[in-house]
Structure 1
Amino acid sequence: MDWPSLGIMLFLAAAGFAAAFIDSVAGGGGLIAVPALLMTGMPPDAALGTNKLGGTAAALTSSSAFLASGNVDWRTVRLLFPLSFAGALLGTETVHLLSPEFLRPLVIVMLGVILVYTLFKKKAAASPAGDVHLTRKALRLLVPAAFAIGFYDGFFGPGTGSFLLFAFLLAGYGYVGASGNAKMLNLGSNLSSLLMFLLFGSVQFGSGIILALFMIGGAWTGSRFAIKRGAAWIKPLFAAVTAILIGKQLWDLLIG
């Protein structure tokens, strides 16, 4: 196993903590982690695979915190988790056959819709996730969404946390409950993609272990912050991360 230099270790530690903190609250941690890995000179496929190692560790940490706090609807997540896992498995396999770049314009539009919805939506309910009684209509939304967003996470990735959180908001959850459920499904898609990247040999373990350790710390801190502060902080941070995601995708589209 090749370990990075001390300077790169410190850089990845800071980037991993910040990425996981933001991701556990509002999604979008890949905006920090993937560019940080690329800046170390890592090839793109290795950066994506190594990021999944850190992301899986972070998602496990934050989802455990949300679950312990009662802000995960386990009945619904138990149904949707295998769909997210299977979708990401197929998405990660597909990315080796097709270029995902054609999705970028569509992602910009979808993120724009999410941003407008977030800014103009009235305050979401603050009841615990387990108190939400889902209608069949909501399940008809969440079942295909879990598979499709899981596939998207394995195939392309940017904005996955935003899309998951948005889906649960539409289903009637408050911001904290939606965040908790989203992290559980994100755990499924991250784990699935990680297994595929391991199979393809696209994970650099030295950098990945450093990233994962500090992402665990960032995820624990961020999830506790989200649970304690609630929608008052999650909503504006979610809107800010979504806006940055839009800017990043537009920039990549224009300079590409």
Structure 2
Amino acid sequence: MVFEPTLTELIILLSAALTAGFVDSIAGGGGLITLPALLAVGIPPHLALGTNKLQASFGSCTAAIRYTGSGLVIRDQLVKAVIFTFIGALTGTVLIQIIPADSLKRVIPFILLAVFIYTLLSPDLGSIDRRARMKISMFYTLAGLTLGFYDGFFGPGTGSFWTIALVILMGYNLKSATANTKIVNFTSNIVSLILFIIGGNVLFIPGLIMATGQIAGAWMGSHLVIRQGTKFIRIFFLAVVALTIIKLFYQEFLG
């Protein structure tokens, strides 16, 4: 498909990507901003999904680089996470092309609602590092396969799921959990992107235009996380998860 955007459409896509990059680098959920924007300018769903992965990969890569340089990323613990996230995302992206995602889409809002309530009722959650509840190798194997698959298969809320899992099960504080989340997020994004490119489902011009917004937004958002305390991240996290829940419930049950 040849997509020839107008100036107004370019501004819409760039603005959406800038906002999404900022939001996603702090609490996840950026895809809920960019995907509707891509659809709104007339790009068919399958091409919108692939193009969304292209621009999102730039944002998650920028945030991952920024966080790695801050010292918040625990590198030796992420090797297994990256490997199993790669496998999970590969499987999920292949299956989404042959298996309907309707059932999964109806379950996710309820899972996110549980995450929101749990975080809301636990004011000290993620304020300090705590004792891990699972062995590192087991956690990253299970979380990598599960959340990698989910991101490749469907996507919304992946960053939020990673962050809360690292806080609850591995005892990370919210700042460290957010930083480590972007490494595995980038992994699943790039795997899905490669498969979408192979399938011919990526529009490079609008995707690269949005990538510039993603890079700027992700850089600003990750900079704020590094400078601010966990209280700021917690408030932002709750706000993004709440908006994600509302949007998904509306799309699946009211739209």
Quickly name the TM-score band, shorter chain normalised: over 0.9
Match of 1:166 among 164, 167, 181: 164
The percent identity for this pair of structures is 37
**Structure 1: unaligned runs, 5 residues or longer:** none
Q: Is the 8 A contact 1:61 1:219 kept in 2?
A: yes
Deviations 1:66-120 (A, max 9, x none): 1100111111111211111111111010001101111123212210111012112
Q: What is the identity, as a one-letter code, of the residue corresponding to 1:117? A: Y
Question: Which range is displaced more, 228-237 or 43-52?
Answer: 228-237
Deviations 1:185-218 (A, max 9, x none): 0000000000010011111111101011110010
Residues of 2 paired with 1:77 and 1:142: CA distance?
8
Residues of 2 paired with 1:207 and 1:219: CA distance?
18
Runs of 4+ deviating beyond 3 Å: 132-139
Aligned length: 252
Q: Is the 8 A contact 2:80 2:140 kept in 1?
A: no
Q: What is the identity, as a one-letter code, of the residue corresponding to 2:58? A: A
Deviations 1:109-157 (A, max 9, x none): 2101110121122142446xxxx88575354233201111010001011
Corresponding residue number in structure 1 for 2:22: 21
Distance verdict in 2 for CA 1:110–1:50, change over 3 Å = same
Q: Is the 8 A contact 1:142 1:167 kept in 2?
A: no
Structure 1 position 190 matched with structure 2 position 186: no
Corresponding residue number in structure 2 for 1:207: 206
**Structure 2: unaligned runs, 5 residues or longer:** none
Distance verdict in 2 for CA 1:102–1:223, change over 3 Å = same
Residues of 2 paired with 1:192 and 1:231: CA distance?
30
Matches within 5 A, 1:88-237: 88-121=89-122, 122-126=124-128, 136-170=134-168, 171-237=170-236
- Cα deviation, residue 42, structure 1: 0.4
Residues of 2 paired with 1:2 and 1:104: CA distance?
29
Residues of 2 paired with 1:219 and 1:252: CA distance?
27
| TM-score in terms of structure 1 length | 0.93
Residues of 2 paired with 1:212 and 1:70: CA distance?
25
RMSD: 1.7
